[in-house]
Structure 1
Amino acid sequence: MTALTDSPATTGRLRTVWRAAHAPVAGVPRWARIAAFAVPFTVLPSSLWRLPAAFDDGFPLGERVYIAFLSILSELVAFTAVGLVATWGERFPRWIPGLRGRRVPTSAAVIPAALGAVVLTVLWTAAFVTHFSGVTLRGEPIPANFPTQAGGWKAAIFYVCYLPLLLWGPLLATVTYAYHRRRRSR
């Protein structure tokens, strides 16, 4: 460890920032907080499952970068659900010129979140329905080297990592509903 990370002041500041980012807004129901914090955890297993491929020399560099980028981006997008229940989702950050400190309009959060919930629900449901039918979303046969084709532990691990994605859309929809209801009543 370095002196920087051992410093009580640094640890205290990080703890303060962490708490501020995750502090729920007054009036957020407990079920909405649980659903919001569950969203990133529904995405995490698939992100972690993909990451070893980013370090596999058998893939071209561009593909490895894409895989790592997809995993990180998925987590960042999933984490935005927390903004629907946390204080940082109520006001624009100070670093955004022209908007700093202003209240986020309800529709600016609800419309993208609702569209995201619909798209995610349709996408992951269709992905699994087609997969269990033996084809990809494009209608092509599933490749022979795909993990689920091998069966056994590879298939089991794949399903354990990817099945939670079926919850991403519905969880986001419930959090979006709670956000809309709470903000509309103000």
Structure 2
Amino acid sequence: MSESRVTSPGQDRPGETPSGSTWLRDHSELGICVLLAALGAFVLVDALLISTDFAQRGPVGPKTMPIVVGSGLLVVSALLVVDVLRGGRGESEIGEDVDLSVPADWKTVLLLAAAFLANAALINVVGFLLSGVILFWGSAYALGSRAFNRDPLIAAGLTVLTYVVFNYLLGVSLPGIPLLGV
């Protein structure tokens, strides 16, 4: 009795040499590795070309974050190459918890966009402290919170905390309240 062996689409039969196109199809995730490595190299080269002709505030300069991001991209690319060559495969996105038959919630999207645009339009007019309250409160309302006695207090607390952290701990000046001269 002859033994027939069932092979998966990318698996060659015993005694056959793997063809180049089959191997590439089975390791298609390597394309993402190449893309991540190219992006990481681009970010690193671009970061190293940043001019430092200006006064730097503090120990962290303008090159720090791009170098961290570019290096991170290269490390992730290398780790992904190792995983793919060891047999790791990306899983398909068939089991998402999103019901594609339900239309998008445009009301929420538009309310969030309005909160962000209001913040951008008002920040230089009324300052960060007031525009930040509008941003945080508007975002909470857009995402479904209807606690009208609690939400403004939380929004004010988050705004003051953000203002203090940026102005006094990080040294990044946010507009105070221009109408009061602060």
The verdict on a shared fold, with TM-score over 0.5 as the criterion, is no
Give TM-score, length-normalised by structure 1: 0.28
Larger proportion of helix: 1
Question: RCO higher in 1 or 2 (8 Å CA, sep ≥ 6)?
Answer: 1
Give TM-score, length-normalised by structure 2: 0.28
